[in-house]
Structure 1
Amino acid sequence: MSRTVEQIQFAPRMPKPLRVAAYARVSSGKDAMLHSLAAQVDHYSTYIRHHHGWEYVGVYADEAKTGTRDSRENFQRMLTDCRAGKIDHIITKSISRFSRNTVTLLETVRELKELGISVYFEEQSIDTATADGELMLSILASYAQEESLSASENQKWRVKRNFEEGIPWRFFMLGYRRENGKLAIVPEEAEIVRSIFDDYLAGKGVTAIAKRLNESGYATQSGCVFHKSAVERILRNYAYTGDLLLQTKFRENHLSKVTRKNQGELPRYHASDTHEAIIPLETFNAVQAEIRRRKEKYAPTKPQQPSPFTGLVTCAICGKHYRRKTTATGPVWICSTYNFYGKSYCYSKAIPEEKLIQTAALVGHTGEITGITAHNDNLLEFTLKDGTNAVKRWQDRSRAESWTAEMRQAAGEKTRERKQRHAES
């Protein structure tokens, strides 16, 4: 009996492509640096796509960020994708581009290694997939960190020297421009600054001042609309007096780059008559006294409990949140856009707090409500924890409800005066 042997041909097993991403970063927002970042992104995209056996995942790039890990949005997004199993290998230009902090760098590399992900640093020719990769990495990272410290100390020395000579390190404020190393007044901007100080001393609040500036079409030096904080900064800026108070803030260290208010940790410097004043010192001091007076007058006597409606009410017209506001007729909930910019920006309607409470009670317990959308025609759309929705209409306050004790007293006095005039005639 003959035996037949047949050879079976197996298809060759194709290796799984290596999923590769790149990380790029520049530490300055200047045009030249951003052009460099664009060139890096283009280089890595082309390099990975044309490498045999590699699958292109993407290039993660951060602009004008520090070398700290937590502050970089796209660096964090890359790590998230690594943890999700989307990346096998990462390419980056150098150790300092990845992180200037030795501890952070090694922690990140070790976490990636546990996930089976290797990192290749081009300038140092280090691949963490190799046996001696991490050793070389820790040595070179220490050098990178020391280099960063040295650069930081040199910068601090230059800043300190400028301060001792009465020269600001940076100067960016409404009303001035730097010309030939000196500060020159911009007349039209200076008038805006003077009007802000005049309005405040005349009794206007910072919100009303900001609203007036925006309605007049004015903008900050950055070309943005005025917010309450921008007006407050101008009112507190001592530099408008023609003198400078230097080193009021400082950087915590060269790694975190956190800015702190100088509470006596470092010397402060006062430089007199460094530039032409926009605001007389007497006016500036009067404004500071008025700021303190208002703060003391309107300071809450006891800590306020957060309202259960905080962060819940959203405007259906502009999408902004409603905020609680105390008025002469009692607290109301008002769209932040309408409150700050006026009806021309958002034509929503304020909701008296008692009406909001009454309407919410028709739906259920406040703790069951996860969101409230305020529509026109007094309609409130409630979203509940169980996923259901309910729409309720609130009723406007009657005229009697809208009157305050002061309004009633004033009306009574007018009535008595009218009766007296009638009796005399």
Structure 2
Amino acid sequence: MARKSRKQNTAQQASPAPACKVYRTALYARLSAEEYKRSAGTTIENQLCLLREYVKDKPYLQVEGEYLDDGVSGTRFDRPDFMRMVGDMRGGKIDCIIVKDLSRLGRNYLEAGDYLEKIFPFFGVRFIAVTDGYDSASPDVTEDGLIVPLKNLINDIYAKDLSRKISSAFYIRQKQGKFVGASAPYGYVKSPEDHSRLVVDEDVRDIVWHIFHWRADGESLTAIIRRLNDNGIPCPSRYKYLKGWVKKDRSQSGLWTVSTLSEVIRNPVYAGDMEQGINKTALYKGMGTRKMPAEERLYVKDTHEPIVEREIFDKVNEKGKRDAEKFHSGYGKFDALSKEPNLLKGILICGDCGKRMSLWRDRSGAKLNPPRVYYKYICQTYQHLKEKGCVRKRLDKKDVERAVEETLRMHIKLFLDSRQILERLNREQKSDGGFRKEIREAENRKKRAESMSASLYNDYADGLLNESDYLYAKEKYLKQTDEEAQKILELQETERRHRTGSRKEGRLEALVQEYRDFENLTEEVIHAFISEIFAYSDGRLEIRFRFEDEFKELLDVAEERGGGICRKEA
């Protein structure tokens, strides 16, 4: 009789589980874009069907959710649904994960090994790979453990080999002048007959042509942007979204910006040439995505129909180079002038458009030596797009920082005053042990009610109680048990809030003690207490502090215990 393979046997029959253990199970399926192209009939749904069939007759594997990463490489572990599943695992929502095979978990053998040998065991998670016959709860897991690292290594090698082959194929096609990008650049579409060939998008041909000619005639980038936005012409990302070519609208406003226009003007595709390999990724070399220098890119001339004349394209880009050289030549020209640090870098946000604001250094009195220098916080969106993008804001640096400093000092003072008042109340009331006594009494009453409820059935069985009296008494004791349990929770919460008044710990407490007497406003002090500052067109500043929950709890407890005196005194 032929020997039946252990792998086939395990794929059909799960390892025996303790009768009392029911696993909250996650079904995870993953399919990369390349696997879908290479294997006809391979779909994410096929994987799910296999997993559903596997758990169908196993009542101890209770499915809590299905997690799908379609079109995502297994070399990455920041996959959206994989990260969601890991979050549910950390939150205790699942304690079993089932995949079709080990390669679905990942093709990076080091990270896959970390999950199998460290992370899953740490969280007490059972892991099953159906077709590989692997089950971490199996009595033979030590035997399987010898082969799992090898399979992970093979998966890793497979992924790198596939990366090398794909990179080689792309390189050959790029050298031939064929387009290999996911979507065509603005002004072009992929030919329906040959997706590696670009044809002009007649709907926007004139727009691209005018952009280059306006620039060649001397118009600034900002002037061209205003012209396009004033005429309601959507930017490239919004245009693709409106056409239905992409599912996600990456442009919040749909407006042209300097960076978007600059990308169009610098792209030789509009002169009929193809420049590819600008960003390169090579997994097989262990190289992540990086931008390649111009000399290492692939440049092929006359690969498709141009939209603008080569003379106009060259003229525009030569002008761009001269403008850049002129700009860079000014570096260091005003180094002798005072330069103040941007204390609000990264946290000052325009409340109207949501973009981060910049510190603008300006000069006046050019004939003076040295000229006068002043600083303003400005909205870059308005600076480039004017009223089309946002509302004008030019906030004096000193005024903004003075307001921030005053608010910060008031915030610290209110915290310290509230703490001081609560400490005084603690000394006066001396009620530390009162809550614990009430909690013990409630716990005793709860235990008595539970004991009486448990003894009722014996009385009913012995004929001392009829059915009506038994049910009435049982409901009474159950209700009393619930009421006492609720009272215990309320007393514990009250005791915890009472301790807040005397507790000297927590992140905010430590920061206040460290910076309570700061002399000058610094970036360190600001970022320690403040997460965001929103500036609005009506002159309002909205400051959002870190650890607001800790601060609010202290004020609420002080208000509750002090009968309103805390806020008045503070």
TM-score range normalised by the length of the shorter chain: 0.7 to 0.9
Residues 322-341 of structure 1: pairs in structure 2 closer than 5 A: 322-325=357-360, 331-341=375-385
Match of 1:253 in 2: 283
Q: How far, CA to CA, are the matches of 2:382 and 2:51 in structure 1?
A: 47
Q: How far, CA to CA, are the matches of 2:546 and 2:299 in structure 1?
A: 58
Does 2:329 correspond to 1:311?
no
Preserved contact between residue 229 and residue 388 of structure 2 (Cα < 8 Å): no
Does 2:304 correspond to 1:283?
no
- 3-state SS, counterpart of residue 258 of structure 1: strand
Q: How far, CA to CA, are the matches of 1:132 and 1:30 in structure 2?
A: 30
User: Which one of the candidate residues 368, 371, 381 is aligned to 2:542?
Assistant: 381
Cα-to-partner distance string for 1:216-272 (whole Å, 9 max, x where unaligned): 222315235334332222111112111223444432224867333334896x54433
The offset of 1:90, in angstroms, is: 0.5
The offset of 1:384, in angstroms, is: 5.0
Which structure's CA Rg is the greater one? 2
Letter in 2 for 1:158: A
Q: Which has the higher strand share?
A: 1
After superposition, the CA RMSD in angstroms is 3.8
Match of 2:397 in 1: 353
Q: TM-score, normalised by structure 1?
A: 0.73
User: Which one of the candidate residues 158, 161, 184 is aligned to 2:172?
Assistant: 161
Preserved contact between residue 393 and residue 537 of structure 2 (Cα < 8 Å): yes
Match of 1:65 in 2: 72
Match of 2:25 in 1: 20
User: Which one of the candidate residues 292, 306, 331 is aligned to 1:301?
Assistant: 331
The offset of 1:173, in angstroms, is: 0.8
The offset of 1:383, in angstroms, is: 4.2
Preserved contact between residue 271 and residue 313 of structure 2 (Cα < 8 Å): yes
Letter in 2 for 1:359: A
Structure 1 gaps, min length 5: 1-12, 390-425
Match of 1:274 in 2: 303
Match of 2:126 in 1: 118
Residues 48-197 of structure 1: pairs in structure 2 closer than 5 A: 51-111=58-118, 112-129=120-137, 130-170=141-181, 172-179=184-191, 180-181=193-194, 182-197=197-212
The offset of 1:42, in angstroms, is: 8.0
The offset of 1:351, in angstroms, is: 2.1
Letter in 1 for 2:105: F
Q: How far, CA to CA, are the matches of 1:374 and 1:118 in structure 2?
A: 51
Q: How far, CA to CA, are the matches of 2:357 and 2:327 in structure 1?
A: 22
Structure 2 gaps, min length 5: 1-17, 242-250, 365-373, 410-520, 553-570
Preserved contact between residue 332 and residue 350 of structure 1 (Cα < 8 Å): yes
- 3-state SS, counterpart of residue 283 of structure 2: coil
Query: Using a 3 Å threshold, how does the CA distance of structure 1 residues 20 and 103 change in structure 2: closer, same or farther?
Result: same
Letter in 2 for 1:191: D
Q: Which has the higher helix share?
A: 2
Query: Using a 3 Å threshold, how does the CA distance of structure 1 residues 252 and 209 change in structure 2: closer, same or farther?
Result: farther
